[in-house]
């Protein structure tokens, strides 16, 4: 059991429903319909799917930003419900989240130093001296210059902001990271650099990643295993190389056929 960083069993999330003030039944959206997945320690599990497939809902449930309608989750060996009962700090110490839009995930009115200070103070409980040295280490780990700490988010490009967001996720010293489309908003060359950084951090720190993206090639380049989501369900899961070489499910095949390629056999 303890081999798995994350275990999800029959996870369901339904939005809406319930009754309005006048007793009318509100319409329901089934975002996630009975998903069971395991993320092994030190592994990168890729999750691919198109918009509306429920990938982000799944991720937000894992980090406690949404509560599942039914089903259970174990995160780092601890039941989700137990973590939720102890509050957001317990979550933050075990699992962290990197957002798609790095600029929007940094408060525009705070310096990077202030942003990084929060998890170090609240989640790790370090004193001021230790926090200052940790902040320097973190900035260094994501390959940013030291003066980053005194600057404001708008002074950075998308790729740099995503490095900072990764540093914040690392600050909590959680061993599990949920990466929700971390490179989708970035230019290709910056995307490659962020992927390299993520790979290096995983190897150096022994992290486990749940890597969500709509870009098949990106997911394939960093993942050990890949799960394909379609309309709230996992339709196929397998080792990255096998899944893309020999897709079983029709939807996976359609996805792979649609992906634009540099060298496509059918172009004259």
Minimum Å distance from CB 10 to another protein?
25
Q: Which is nearer to another protein, 36 or 86 (CB)?
A: 86
Q: Which is nearer to another protein, 9 or 154 (CB)?
A: 154
Structural contact between residues 58 and 35, judged by C-beta atoms closer than 8 angstroms = yes
* 20 membership: H or E segment, kind and range: none
Minimum Å distance from CB 1 to another protein?
25
Q: Which is nearer to another protein, 36 or 143 (CB)?
A: 143
Minimum Å distance from CB 40 to another protein?
16
The whole-angstrom separation of Cα 255 and Cα 49 is 9
Residues recorded for the chain: 268
Minimum Å distance from CB 26 to another protein?
14
The whole-angstrom separation of Cα 52 and Cα 232 is 8
The whole-angstrom separation of Cα 5 and Cα 44 is 11
Structural contact between residues 208 and 39, judged by C-beta atoms closer than 8 angstroms = yes
Kindly compute the dihedral angle of the four CA atoms of residues 178, 183, 171, 154, in this order, to the nearest 10 degrees.
-140
Structural contact between residues 47 and 58, judged by C-beta atoms closer than 8 angstroms = yes
The whole-angstrom separation of Cα 176 and Cα 185 is 22
Q: Which is nearer to another protein, 8 or 240 (CB)?
A: 240
Q: Which is nearer to another protein, 44 or 74 (CB)?
A: 44
Minimum Å distance from CB 194 to another protein?
10
The whole-angstrom separation of Cα 5 and Cα 182 is 20
Q: Which is nearer to another protein, 110 or 249 (CB)?
A: 110
Minimum Å distance from CB 255 to another protein?
6
């Amino acid at each position: 059991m303890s081999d798995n960083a994350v275990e999800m069993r029959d996870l369901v999330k339904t939005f809406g429903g319930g009754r309005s003030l006048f007793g009318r039944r509100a319409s329901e959206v089934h975002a996630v319909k009975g998903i069971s997945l395991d993320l092994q320690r030190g592994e990168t599990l890729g999750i691919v799917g198109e918009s509306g497939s429920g990938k982000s809902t799944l991720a937000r449930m894992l980090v406690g930003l949404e509560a599942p309608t039914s089903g259970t989750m174990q995160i780092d060996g601890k039941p989700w419900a137990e973590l939720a009962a102890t509050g957001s700090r317990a979550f933050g110490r075990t699992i962290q989240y990197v957002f798609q839009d790095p600029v929007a995930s940094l408060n525009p009115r705070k310096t990077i130093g202030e942003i990084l200070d929060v998890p170090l103070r609240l989640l790790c409980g370090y004193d001021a001296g230790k926090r200052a040295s940790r902040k320097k280490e973190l900035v260094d780990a994501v390959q940013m210059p030291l003066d980053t700490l005194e600057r404001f988010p708008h002074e950075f490009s998308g790729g740099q902001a995503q490095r900072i967001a990764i540093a914040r996720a690392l600050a909590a010293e959680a061993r599990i990271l949920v990466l929700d489309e971390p490179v989708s908003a970035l230019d290709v060359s910056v995307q490659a650099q962020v992927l390299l950084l993520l790979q290096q951090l995983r190897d150096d720190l022994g992290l486990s990643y749940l890597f969500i993206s709509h870009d098949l090639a990106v997911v394939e380049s960093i993942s050990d295993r890949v799960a394909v989501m379609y309309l709230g369900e996992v339709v196929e899961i397998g080792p990255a190389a096998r899944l893309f070489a020999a897709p079983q499910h029709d939807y996976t095949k359609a996805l792979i056929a649609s992906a634009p390629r540099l060298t496509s056999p059918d172009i004259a």
